[in-house]
Structure 1
Amino acid sequence: MAEDNPRKSTEDVFIPKELLTTAKFNSPWELARWEESLPDNNRISLPEPRTSSNRPLSLSALRAVARPKSTIRARGRSDPPAVQGTFNYVAKPATFQPASPIPEKEPITPVQNAFLNPQPHSKASSYTISSEQSSLQEVYEKAKLRGIAIQRKYWVRLLFEYSIYAFLVLFVYFVLVGMPLWKGAVWWLYYVVRTKFVIQGGYAIIIGLAALYAFCPLMILFEKDPPTLDSESESPDLESNTSKVQSTALLIPCYKSATIIGATLEAALKVFPKENIFVIANGNSKTPLDNTEEVCKPYGINHLWVPIGSKIVAQFVGSHAARDFENALLIDDDCLLPPNFPIVSDRLKNTVKCLGYTIKSVGPNSSKGTFCQQAQDLEYKMSGIQRAFFGKFGSATFPHGAISLWNIEFLKQTFHEHPGFSVSEDWFFGDACRRLGGRITMCSQVFVETETPASVFYSGSGGSRGGFGEMTVLQQRFKRWNFFFVVGVYYDLKYILTSWKLGWWEFGAKLCVFQEVYETLIYLFAPFVLPISFIVRPSFCGMLLGVTIGMYILNVIIFNEVHLRLKKERIDWKVLLFYYTFYKIVLTFINVVSCYWSLYKYARYFAQRHPKVIEDRDAVEVLLSLEKDSNSSTTSVEDDIVPLDGVLGRGVGRKLTLTKVKAGKRGNGEKGGWI
C-alpha cells in the first residue's frame, strides 16, 4: 500500500502531542512554515483553545480533523479509521482514550471553518467580509503572527533611532561641509554654479516646468452646477441621483468631534437617509473620549466607537460596516455637503475607481473667515482644478483627504497596498489606488465646505475645529501634510518606474506624480542653490525671482477672474493681491523647513515598524467584533472580543460600541433632500 500511495504512509502516522509542544523555533514564520509542512493526521482530535501555556497541536492537524470523506476518496485515499482519540502520556503505561468523532452532518462553526479550510489571500483579490467569518478569522491569525514578527525590542528601536541621528550628523559634516578633509559638496556646488553651470539655462528649465504645471490646468473649466432641489426642469437628474444615494454609504471618521459633528450630520441628512450614514468615532481608549454618540443619537444614524486612535483604522472598520452598499463616500467630520450634492457613482467604471470632489475653505458658520482662511480657499480651489485636469488625461495623485467617493470593494483592496501610516493616509490611498490599476478623477460641480485654520502662526479664541483639526496652518503642515514629503519621493519614483497598469492613462498620471517629485527636490535644494545663485549672479537671480512671483500672480488672477467668476466663487482683490502672495512665500519657507524637520523625525517614527491595517491585530480584532454583531437589529451593542489564544490585544479587550438603525420605509411621495 505504501508503494501505491507514498503520501499515506506519512500522513497516517500519529504525532505525539508532547513532541509537537516541545518543538522550538527562532521566529513565528518558522513555526508557520513547520506547521504547514506537517502531514495530515486524521487521528488527532480538536485541541483545546490556545492559551498562553497551551499550544495547539498544529494548524495542519486542525485542518485534518473534519475533512469530508469525499475529499479523501477524491485524492485516492482509503477511509480514515473509525476510532479517533488521543494518548494519555501522564499515566504509565500510555493508555488510549477514545474521543467522540465529529459527525459528518454536524454543522461546523465559522471559527472552526477558519482552521479547517483556510483560503490564502492575494494582493489582487478583493478582501471581503462574506457571510462566513472564516476568511476574517484567518486574517486575524496572520495578523497575530505578523505583529510578533515586526516587533522590535526597546534597545533595537533605541539603537536604530540614534544611529539615524549619528548618520545625519556625519552626513552634514563629511559630505556637505567636508572641511578640512575635503572641500565638501556645498563648495563644489558653488564651484559648478560659478564656473560650469549656466544660471540662465537652469532657471529657464525650472520656470518652464513651473509654468507648465501652473497654466495647463487653466485650459479646462469647472463643471456646471448640479440642479437645485426646486428645479423642475432638471427633475430626471434628481431622480437619478436619488437612486445613486441608495447604493452609497456615507462614512465619517471622527475624533473628539462632539462640538462640530451636529452641523455635519444636519447637512448630510439633506442628501442621505439616516441608515446610510456611519459615524466612526475613534481614540486610544476602551470608552469614548467625548459625547459624540449622544450627539448622534437624535439623528438616528449609525454610530461606531473604535477603540484605536487612527483615522485609517476607522475607515477600515467603516468600509466593512457598510459592506451592504456598493459605494462609499468618505468625508471629514467638518465637511458640510451642499443640499444639491451630486453622487456621481456612475463615473466609477472601467479604470476609474476613486472620485475626488473640489473643496472650499470657510470660517465658523460657513463664513468667509479670516484673510488666512480666504487664502486657503483660493489654494484649495486651484488644487481642485489641477486635480481635475490631470484626472481627465490620466489620474490625479490622490483625492482630497476631506472627501472622496470609492467603489467599496476596491476601497477594501487598497488596504492590502496601503502601508498603514496614520499620517498622510489620503496620499497613500492615492498611491495604492494607482498601483492597483485605478484612476482618480474629480467632480468639480460643487465646492464642499470644510473649516480651515484661522491663521498661519498664532490662533486666537475663534474657530470650532475639533479633534485633530489643527488651529494654525503651521501645525497643520508640519504635523501631517508635509511629514511624508521626502519619503513620498521614494514611493513616487517607485510608481513612475514600476507601475504600468493604467495603460495609456499612465502617461498623464506619471506627469502628475512627477510634479510632486519636482517640487520636493526644489524644497530640498533651495537652501543651497538659491543662496549660491545670489552670490554668483545677484542681480539676475533677483530679477528672475521677481518674474517667478509675477508669473504666479498672473496665474491666480486668470483663475480668479475666469474660472471662479463663472462659479460665482471669486476671492476678494485685497486677499488676492496683497495677502495671498505673502501667504504663499511664507508657505514655501514652511515647506522647505518641514522637509528637513521630517528627516530628523523619521528616526523615531521608523524606529518602530508600522503594520498594514490588515496586519494590525487590534484593527482586525475590532472588525471581528463588528462582524459578530453584524446581524443584530438592536440599537446598542457592546462586546469584548477574546482571541482564541486567550491573550488580549495590548493587555485589554478591544471593545467596539455599535449603534445601528434599520432601513426605514419611504413613501413614493416623501421629500427630504434627494431621498
Structure 2
Amino acid sequence: MAEESHRKSIVEDVFIPKELLTTAKFNSPWELARWEQSLPDNNRISLPEPRTSSNRPLSLSALRSVARPKSAIRSRGRSDPPAFQGTFDYFEKPATFEPPSPIPEKGITPVQNAVLSAQPPSKTSSQTISSEQSHLQEVYEKAKLRGVAIQRKHWVRLLFEYTIYAFLVLFVYFVLVGMPLWKGAVWWLYYVVRTKFVIQGGYAIIIGLAALYAFCPLMILFEKDPPAPESETESPDLENNISKVKSTALLIPCYKSASIVGATLEAALKIFPKENIFVIANGNSKTPLDNTEEVCKPYGVNHLWVPIGSKIVAQFVGCYAAKDFENAVLIDDDCLLPPNFPIVSDRLKNNVKCIGYTIKSVGPNSSKGTFCQQAQDLEYKMSGIQRAFFGKFGSATFPHGAISLWNIEFLKQTFHEHPGFSVSEDWFFGDACRRLGGRITMCSQVFVETETPASVFWSGSGGSRGGFGEMTIFQQRFKRWNFFFVVGVYYDLKYILTSWKLGWWEFGAKLCVFQEVYETLIYLFAPFILPISFIVRPSFCGMLLGVTIAMYILNVIIFNEIHLRLKKERVDWKVLLFYYTFYKIALTVVNVFSCYWSLYKYARYFAQRHPKVIEDRDAVEVILSLEKESNSRRTSVEDDVIPLDGALGRGVGRKLTLTKVQAGKRKMTEESEKGGWV
C-alpha cells in the first residue's frame, strides 16, 4: 500500500495508445500539465515549439533558458538545456513578449493546450546532464590514474636530466670533434666541401628553395577589406551583428592582464554581444593574481578564474564554458579587433576546421611604434600572405597564436591529439588539426592589431605589456617561440610520412610543413657549413651571401609596394631599406643559437613527463567543477522566477570562479613566471 500511495496514477505502468490520449480535452493548460505529468514516459506528448514575432518561446520555463544558437538547438534537441546556465545575460536586450492567444471557451485539444502550457523540466535533459557528468567523471578518474602512471621520482628525473647532459657532451666530442682519437664529423664535412662538394651547386639548391618559398606566395593578393562602419563613433548594432555572431563565442585567455584587457574588450564589444565574450584569467593561485575581474565587470562579459597557470588549460576550460556555441574565436589579451572584423564561420565547412587571421604589429595605443615594431609588422604581414597561399592550395601549418577561429567540437577533439605542452601550444594545435584531417586556411580581409616587443635585445621598459611581459624579441623568441624548433622536426617528419587524411590537399600541406623542416636544418647546419664554406671559397661565398640578402630585399620591396599598397598598409622606406635587413640577420643569429640552447634545455623539460590536457588531472578537475557549478546554477534558475524586463545581469559582469582545484598541485619556477619554459 505504501508503494501504491506514491504513484501518480493507477495506470502508471500501463501502456496507453497515443491516439487515445489525443482525444482528451481540457479547460486550461494547467490541467493538461498536471495530467501529462501523471502519464507514463513512453506516451509523453512532444510538440513543436511555437514561434512569436520575437522568435521566443512563450512558456516561462523556456524564458528561463539561456538563448542558444539555433544550430546548437537542432543538434542537441529541444530537451537539452543550456549547460552554462546563470553566467550569461538571460536576454540579449530588454525583452518584449506577445501575450498568448486567449483560450477558447470550448474545450481545446491537447495539441493546442501544449502550445500554451509551461513545460516541466524534461527527463531527457536531466539524463543528458547526468550522462555528461558521468562521462567527465570517468575522464577525471582516468586522468588521476594517468597522472600517477607518468610521474617520475625525483632521482629518476635527475638521472634522466644528467644522462642527457652527458650524452650531449660525449656526442660533441666523440662525434663532432673526435681529435686526437680520430677525425670527427666536422673534419669530414670540411673534407667533403673542399674535395667533393660543388659549392656552387649546393648554394644553387639552397637559394632555389629559398626563392621558391619566398616568391611563390606573392602570386596571390590579400582579400578585399570588408565594409567599414558608417562612422567610428556609432554604437555597435548588436541586433545586426547577432545574425553573424550568434553562434560564435570569443575566448580571451588572460594572465595578469588587468592593464590591457580593457582596450581589448572595448574593441571586441563592437563585434560581439557581451554574453558571447569569455575572459579566462588564469594563474597558479587560488585567488586571482590581479584585478582583471574588476576590469571586466563594467563591460558585462563573462569572467572565469582558473587556478592553473597555463594558456592551453584556459583555452580548454573556455571550450567547455562556451560549449553552447558552435564556433569560437580565440584571441590574445592584447589583440584589438577592428570594427569591421569579419566572422567567416561560413568557411568552416567540409574539411576546413580552423581559420587564421592576418595580424599586424603595433606600438602603444595602436601607434606604428619603434623601427623594431614596424619591422615585425612587415614580418607578420609577410607571414600572413605565406599562410594564405598554402591554405589556399592545402593547409597552413598552424594559425597565428594571437587569433584563430575554430569549430568548437573539433577544437575539443584536438585536445585529445595535442601533446599538452604549454609552450608553442598554437603550433601543436595546427599539427593536431592536420593529423585529425582538418585544413587550416586564412582570412586576410583585415589585419588584427597585436602589440609587440619594442626592441630586439635591450629595452628600458619595465614589462607592462601583460601576459608574459616580454619587452624584447630576444626574450620572446629565444625563450619560447623557438623552443620546439628541433623537436618540431620530429613531429613534422612524422606528419609528412604518416598522415594522409586530407586527401589531395595533403600535397600542399606537406609542402608547407617541409618548409619548417628545411629552415630548422639550415639553422642547425649553419654554424658548420658557413665557416667551412668561407674557409674553402671565401670570395664566392661572400658573393652568394650578398645575393641572398639582395633577393630577400627584393622580395619585401615587391610585397610592400604591391600587396601592402593595395591594403593601404605600407611600411616606411627607412624601415624597409635600412633596418629590416639587419633585423632579419639578427633574428637568424637568434634562431641558430636558440636551436642549440633548446637542445640543452630539453634535458630538464622532458625529465618530467607531460600529460595531454585531457589526461591532466588538474585541468579535468576544473572542467568537472565548471559542469557541477553550471548544473547547480541551472537548477536554481529553474526554481526562481525570472523578471521579464530583462534587467537581470544587464551591465553587471558575470563570473564563474573555479577555485576547487588546489593551487599547490602545480609549481611554476621563477623563470616560467617571467615567460620561460621550465
Whether TM exceeds 0.5 here: the answer is yes
How far off its partner does 1:229 sit?
1.9
* C-alpha distance 572-233 of structure 1, shift in aligned 2 (>3 A): closer
Sequence identity percentage: 91
Task: Report the CA distance between 1:467 and its aligned residue.
Answer: 2.4
Work out the CA distance in 1 between the residues paired with 2:45 and 2:88.
Answer: 10
State whether residues 271 and 673 of structure 1, in contact with CA within 8 Å, keep that contact through their aligned partners in structure 2. Answer: no
The equivalent of 1:477 in structure 2 is 477
**Compared with structure 1, are the counterparts of its residues 224 and 149 closer, same or farther at alpha carbon in structure 2 (3 Å cutoff)?**
same
Greater displacement, 14-23 / 344-353: 14-23
* Cα distance change of structure 1 residues 362 and 459 upon mapping to structure 2, 3 Å threshold: same
**Structure 2 equivalent of residue 58 of structure 1:** 59
Counterpart contact for 2:285–2:664, Cα < 8 Å: no
Query: Equivalent residue of 1:3, what SS?
Result: helix
- Name the CA shift for 1:87/1:46 in 2 (closer, same or farther; >3 Å): farther
Cα distance per residue 1:486-515 (max 9 Å; x no partner): 000000000000000000000000000000
Deviation at 1:631, TM superposition (A): 3.8
In structure 2, the residue matched to 1:137 is: 137
Distance 1:287 1:542 in 2: 58
In 2, the alpha carbon distance for the partners of 1:560 and 1:93 equals 49
The offset of 1:479, in angstroms, is 1.5
Cα distance change, pair 140–125 in 1 and its aligned pair in 2 (3 A):
farther
1:358–1:381 Cα contact (<8 Å) kept: yes
Quote how far apart the aligned CAs of 1:198 are.
Answer: 0.3
- Note the C-alpha offset of 1:180: 1.3
Change in CA separation of 1:86 and 1:56 when aligned onto 2, cut-off 3 Å: farther
Cα distance change on mapping 1:559 and 1:5 into 2, 3 Å: farther
Output the CA distance in 2 between the equivalents of 1:243 and 1:85.
23
| Partner SS state of residue 32, structure 2 | helix
Asked if 2 retains the 8 angstrom alpha-carbon contact of 1:357 and 1:444, the reply is: yes
Counterparts in 2 of 1:654-669, with a 5 A limit? 657=657
TM alignment of 1:41-190, pairs within 5 A: 132-190=132-190
Q: Deviations for 1:560-600, whole angstroms, at most 9, x for unmatched residues? A: 00000000000000000000000000000000000000000
Query: 3-state SS of the aligned residue for 1:129?
Result: helix
Q: Deviations over 1:591-634 (max 9, x none)?
A: 00000000000000000000000000000001111001124559
1:29-57 residue CA offsets vs partner (Å, 9 max, x unmatched): 99999999999999999999999999999
Q: Residues 244-264 of structure 1: CA distance to partner in whole angstroms, max 9, x if unpaired?
A: 211000000010000000000
Q: Deviations over 1:319-365 (max 9, x none)?
A: 00000000000000000000110000000000100000000000000
CA distance, structure 2, for counterparts of residue 599 and residue 672 of structure 1: 18
The one of the two structures with greater contact order (alpha-carbon pairs below 8 A, sep at least 6) is 2
In the TM superposition, what is the alpha-carbon distance from 1:74 to its structure 2 partner? 31
Structure 1, unaligned stretches of length 5 or more? none
For the residue of structure 1 that corresponds to 2:353, the secondary structure is: strand
Is the alpha carbon distance of 1:251 and 1:587 closer, same or farther for their aligned partners in structure 2, counting shifts above 3 Å?
same
Distance, in Å, in 1 between the alignment partners of 2:82 and 2:243 is 58
Other structure's SS at 2:279 match: strand
Q: SS at the partner of 1:84?
A: coil
Displacement of 1:239 in angstroms is 8.8
Distance 1:185 1:670 in 2: 40
Per the TM alignment, residue 464 of structure 1 is displaced from its structure 2 partner at its CA by 3.9
CA contact (8 A) 2:278 2:303 kept: yes
Q: Secondary structure at the match of 1:429?
A: helix
Q: Label 1:592 to 1:416 Cα distance change in 2 as closer, same or farther (>3 A).
A: same
| Matched residue, 1:39 | 40
Partner of 1:257 in structure 2?
A: 257
What do the CA deviations read for 1:632-664 (whole angstroms, capped 9, x no partner)?
A: 559999999999999999999999716999999
Deviates more, 1:544-553 or 1:2-11: 2-11
Instruction: Kindly indicate whether the alpha-carbon contact (under 8 Å) linking 2:79 and 2:125 is maintained by their aligned counterparts in 1.
Output: no
Distance of aligned partners of 1:18 and 1:146 in 2 relative to their CA distance in 1, 3 Å threshold: farther
SS across alignment from 2:131: coil
CA distance in 2, matches of 1:557, 1:644: 60
Could you list the per-position Cα deviations for residues 408-433 of structure 1 after superposition, in whole angstroms to 9, with x for gaps in the alignment? 00000000000000000000000000
Contact 1:454 1:463 (C-alpha < 8 Å) held by counterparts: no
Distance in 2 of aligned mates of 1:358 and 1:101: 56
Kept in 1: contact 2:534–2:541 (CA 8 A): yes
* Change in 2 beyond 3 A, CA 1:645/1:553: same
Aligned-partner Cα distance in 1 for 2:318–2:628: 15
CA change 1:636–1:197 in 2 (3 A) is: farther
CA contact (8 A) 1:361 1:373 kept: yes
**Segments ≥4 residues shifted beyond 2 Å:** 1-105, 108-132, 231-242, 461-464, 631-656, 658-666, 668-675
Aligned residues: 672
In structure 2, the CA distance between the partners of 1:350 and 1:645, relative to structure 1 (3 Å rule), is same
Give the aligned CA root-mean-square deviation in angstroms: 16.8
Residues 119, 135 of structure 1: 8 Å contact kept: no
Q: Give the SS at the match of 1:30.
A: helix
Provide the rounded CA distance (Å) in 2 between the counterparts of 1:394 and 1:93: 46
SS at match of 2:446: strand
Aligned partners of 2:14 and 2:333: how far apart in 1? 60
TM-score, scaled relative to structure 2: 0.75
Which has the larger displacement, 631-640 or 173-182?
631-640
| Mapped partners of 1:328, 1:85: distance in 2 | 20
Change (3 A) 1:628 1:473: same
Alpha-carbon offset, residue 90 of structure 1: 60
3-state SS of the aligned residue for 1:139?
helix
When residues 643 and 485 of structure 1 are mapped into structure 2, their CA distance, relative to the original with a 3 A threshold, is farther
- Separation of aligned partners in 2, 1:244 and 1:558: 36
Q: Pick which of 272-281 and 80-89 moved more.
A: 80-89
Aligned to 2:674: 671
Match of 1:424 in 2: 424
Paired residues of 2:24 and 2:109 also in contact (CA < 8 A): no
- CA-CA distance at 1:243 after TM superposition: 1.7
Q: Structure 1 residues 476 and 72, CA, compared in 2 at 3 Å: closer, same or farther? A: closer
Q: Distance in 2 between matches of 1:669 and 1:193?
A: 42
Which has the higher mean CA deviation after the structures are superposed, 258-267 or 644-653? 644-653
Q: Contact 1:87/1:97 (CA < 8 Å) preserved in 2?
A: no
Partners of 2:280 and 2:93 lie apart in 1 by 58
User: Pairwise mapping of residues 360-379 of structure 1 onto structure 2 (< 5 A)?
Assistant: 360-379=360-379
Alignment CA distance shift 1:358-1:663 (3 Å): farther
CA distance in 1, matches of 2:603, 2:344: 42
TM-superposed CA distance for 1:469, in Å, is: 3.5
- 1:460/1:64 CA distance change after superposition, 3 Å: closer
Q: Would the aligned equivalents of 1:356 and 1:443 in 2 still touch at CA under 8 Å?
A: yes
Q: Is the 8 A contact 1:118 1:135 kept in 2?
A: no
2:554 alignment partner in structure 1: 554
Offset of residue 228 of structure 1: 1.1
1:460, distance to aligned residue in structure 2 (A): 1.3
Q: Could you tell me how far apart the structure 2 residues matched to 1:292 and 1:87 are?
A: 18
TM-score normalized by structure 1?
0.75
Contact 2:242–2:273 at 8 Å: present in 1 too?
A: no
Residues 260 and 466, structure 1, Cα contact 8 Å, conserved in 2: yes
1:117-168: CA deviations, max 9, x gaps?
A: 9999999999998863111000000000000000000000000000000000
CA distance in structure 1 between the aligned counterparts of 2:245 and 2:85, rounded to whole angstroms: 56
In structure 2, the CA distance between the partners of 1:618 and 1:217, relative to structure 1 (3 Å rule), is same
The verdict on how the C-alpha distance between 1:540 and 1:639 changes in structure 2, with shifts beyond 3 A counting, is: farther
Preserved CA contact (<8 Å) 1:66 1:116 = no
Q: Is the 8 A contact 2:59 2:118 kept in 1?
A: no
2: CA distance, partners of 1:229 / 1:318: 30
Change (3 A) 1:352 1:314: same
The answer to whether the 8 A contact 2:278-2:301 is kept is: yes
Question: Contact 1:213–1:515 (CA<8 Å) still a contact in 2?
Answer: yes
8 Å Cα contact 2:286-2:662 kept in structure 1: no
Unaligned 5+ runs, structure 2 = none
- Of the structure 1 ranges 76-85 and 499-508, higher mean CA displacement relative to structure 2 is found in 76-85
Evaluate the alpha carbon distance shift between residue 125 and residue 636 of structure 1 in structure 2; reply closer, same or farther with a 3 A threshold.
closer
CA 1:672–1:452: 2 relative to 1, 3 Å:
closer
CA distance in 2, matches of 1:85, 1:338: 30
Q: Secondary structure at the match of 2:441?
A: strand
